[in-house]
Amino acid sequence: MKACDKGYNRCLAKKQELCEQVKAYEEKDASSIFWKDESENVKRIQGEWNDIGFLPQIMEKDLRDAFQETCNNFFEKQKEFYTKRDNERNENLRLKTEICVESEELAESDDWNRTSSRLKTLQRSWKEIGPVPKKEGEDLWLRFRTACNTFFENLEKHKPENLKLKQDLCEQVENYVKEVNEETDLSTLSRTVMDLQRQWKEIGPVTLEETESIWERFQKACNDFFQLRNDFIKKRKKEEMESLRLKENLVIESEKIATSNEWEGITDRFKELQEKWHTIDELPPRKEKDLWERFNEASDYFFTQKMINTEDLDTQAQDNLKEKEKICLSLEILAKLTLPEKRLEYNKFIPMAEQLSIALEYKDEIITSGDEKTIRENAQKKIKQLEEQWKEIGKVSDRYDESILNRYKKDLDRFK
Count Cα neighbours of 18 within 13 Å in the Cβ-side half-sphere.
Answer: 25
Give the C-alpha separation, 35 to 82, whole Å. Answer: 9
Q: pLDDT tens across 269-317, in order?
A: 999 999 999 999 888 888 999 899 889 888 888 888 887 777 665 677 7
Q: How confident is the model at residue 58 (pLDDT cuts 50, 70, 90)?
A: low
Give CA 281 to chain center in angstroms. Answer: 36
Q: pLDDT tens across 160-211, in order?
A: 989 999 999 999 999 999 888 878 888 899 999 999 999 998 888 888 888 8
What integer is the mean pLDDT of 84-112? Answer: 89
What is the per-residue pLDDT for 398?
Answer: 66
Give the C-alpha separation, 141 to 96, whole Å. Answer: 9
Of all helices (H) and strands (E), which one includes residue 275?
helix 263-277
Q: Which amino acid, 27?
A: E
For 296, other C-beta atoms within 10 Å of its C-beta total: 17
What integer is the mean pLDDT of 112-138? Answer: 90
Contacting residues for 251 by C-beta, under 8 A, at least 6 apart = 291, 294, 295, 298
Whether pTM > 0.85 for this model: the answer is no
Count Cα neighbours of 110 within 13 Å in the Cβ-side half-sphere.
Answer: 5
Lowest mean pLDDT among 32-41, 71-80, 165-174, 192-201: 32-41
What is the per-residue pLDDT for 305?
Answer: 81
Q: pLDDT tens across 318-358, in order?
A: 788 888 888 888 888 888 888 877 777 777 777 778 888 88
What is the per-residue pLDDT for 128?
Answer: 92
What integer is the mean pLDDT of 28-52? Answer: 72
Give the C-alpha separation, 222 to 402, whole Å. Answer: 53
Give the C-alpha separation, 61 to 110, whole Å. Answer: 76
Q: Which of 146, 136, 150 is nearest to 95 (CA)?
A: 136
Residues 165, 203: contact at Cβ < 8 Å?
yes
Task: Return mean pLDDT, the chain.
Answer: 84
